[in-house]
């Protein structure tokens, strides 16, 4: 089955074509980032994001199919992000997908954005086998899931306030760094001392697998306000904050693996591209005989490939929806049906 995937949940317009035939896989993909448009505002402006998706979608799909020499007649289905995300942005992709599905006479299916992220490592040459624990860590979500198959998800823990990626972005704004904040903090952290400030590791002193980053953000703000300025102050704060956030994520992952008795860990979402997180997690897992699986860096952020892949799994299982357009800004992943 050859599936066109469309991703428009926030500030990236992604399209891709995935073929689940043996030896085929991802045939083509294109991605347009809106960072340059939102940078003056210090964050995503939903109305601008929606309008830019409208401008970009048709040219992206047309150019991708032309360059890959793929015709509409060879598309067997269309998958699009139906949630969670910005409602207006989601609607642009949904309307495009439904229109193409009607015009081409193929089924369409709305895909859960975080299921796309979770399954992205399955696009790699050596995908993880089920079951595994997944850490979904992005600007909008921080969740630990037990994954026994596609659609067979058990929520183990999640953030009770800001997601990890959101904490990175807000710390960057506190420090006057450029948008997007996560990469800016990570770059500056390379030049700082990660032991310069004793920031807390939130919620590690209590049982359970939930996360909280609000106290860590407050500690960063206090350090910024109470520490004399110096040439290295901001870099040291970045390094110490990143160390605390990464340490918290890793220790919760190890706790989840111990609790479930599993050894395979999938790391997905925008923050999964963080180099310190990958390096420190690799060391921690090696000590317990565990193994980590990641998407390629190009597929850590929002992209059409993960939506095409996730949609192909569900379309192949016989799932599809009618022509009505429905998106969900909030959508618990545990509500998804299992794929046989």
The sign of the CA dihedral 190, 195, 197, 203 is positive
- Domains of the chain from N-terminus onward: 2-119+299-335 (3.30.420.40), 130-294 (3.30.420.40)
218 contacts: CB under 8 Å, gap ≥ 6? none
Q: Is 139 annotated as a binding residue?
A: yes
- Those residues with Cβ within 8 angstroms of residue 207's Cβ, 6 or more apart along the chain or in another chain: none
Write down the pLDDT at residue 216: 96
In DSSP terms, 79 is beta-bridged to: 5, 109
Amino acid 167: pLDDT: 95
User: Does 32 belong to an annotated binding site?
Assistant: no
pLDDT at 63: 97
Q: Is residue 117 annotated as involved in ligand binding?
A: yes
Find out whether 182 is annotated in a ligand binding site: yes
Sheet holding 77-83, edge to edge: 25-33, 12-19, 2-7, 77-83, 108-112
pLDDT along the chain (340 residues), means of 10: 98 97 96 95 95 98 96 98 97 97 97 97 97 94 96 97 93 94 96 97 94 96 96 97 98 98 97 95 97 95 97 96 91 94
Buried b (16+ CB within 10 A) or exposed e, 299-327: bbbbbbbbbbbbbbbbbeeebbeeeebeb
What pLDDT was estimated at residue 324?
Answer: 87
pLDDT at site 322: 85
140 assigned ligand-binding residue: yes
136 is in an annotated binding site: yes
Predicted local distance difference test score (pLDDT) of residue 111: 98
Residue tagged 């990660």 (tokens): 194
Sequence length of the chain is 340
Contact 283, 309 (CB under 8 A): no
Of residues 3, 206, 14, 181, the one with CA closest to residue 108? 3
pLDDT of residue 140: 84
Provide the pLDDT for residue 152.
98
Q: Would residue 338 be called left, alpha or beta, if left means φ above 0 and alpha means ψ between -120 and 50 degrees? A: beta
């Amino acid at each position: 089955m050859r599936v066109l995937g469309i991703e428009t949940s926030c500030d990236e317009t992604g399209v891709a074509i995935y073929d689940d035939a043996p030896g085929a896989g991802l045939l083509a993909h294109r991605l347009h980032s809106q960072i340059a448009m939102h940078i003056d505002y210090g964050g995503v402006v939903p109305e601008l994001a929606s309008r830019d998706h409208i401008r970009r979608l048709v040219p992206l799909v047309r150019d991708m199919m032309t360059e890959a020499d793929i015709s509409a007649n060879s598309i067997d289905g269309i998958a699009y992000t139906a949630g969670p995300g910005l409602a207006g942005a989601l609607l642009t992709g949904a309307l495009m997908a439904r229109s193409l599905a009607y015009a081409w006479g193929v089924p369409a299916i709305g895909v859960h954005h975080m299921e796309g992220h979770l399954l992205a490592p399955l696009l790699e040459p050596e995908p993880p086998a089920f079951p595994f624990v997944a850490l979904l860590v992005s600007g909008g979500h921080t969740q630990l899931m037990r994954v026994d198959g596609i659609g067979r998800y058990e929520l183990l823990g999640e953030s009770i306030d800001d997601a990890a990626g959101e904490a990175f972005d807000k710390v960057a704004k506190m420090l006057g760094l450029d948008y997007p904040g996560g990469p800016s903090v990570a770059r500056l952290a390379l030049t700082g001392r990660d032991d310069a400030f004793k920031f807390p590791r939130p919620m590690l002193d209590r049982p359970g697998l939930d996360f909280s980053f609000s106290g860590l953000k407050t500690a960063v703000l206090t350090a910024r306000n109470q520490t004399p300025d110096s040439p290295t102050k901001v870099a040291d704060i970045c390094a110490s904050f990143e160390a605390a956030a990464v340490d918290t994520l890793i220790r919760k992952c190890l706790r989840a693996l111990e609790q479930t008795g599993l050894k395979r860990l999938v790391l997905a979402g925008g923050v999964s591209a963080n180099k310190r997180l990958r390096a420190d997690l690799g060391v921690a897992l090696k000590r317990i005989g565990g193994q980590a699986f990641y998407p390629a860096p190009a597929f850590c952020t929002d992209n059409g490939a993960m939506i095409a892949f996730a949609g192909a799994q569900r379309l192949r299982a016989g799932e599809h929806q009618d022509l009505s357009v429905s998106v969900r800004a909030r959508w618990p992943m545990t509500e998804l049906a299992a794929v046989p």
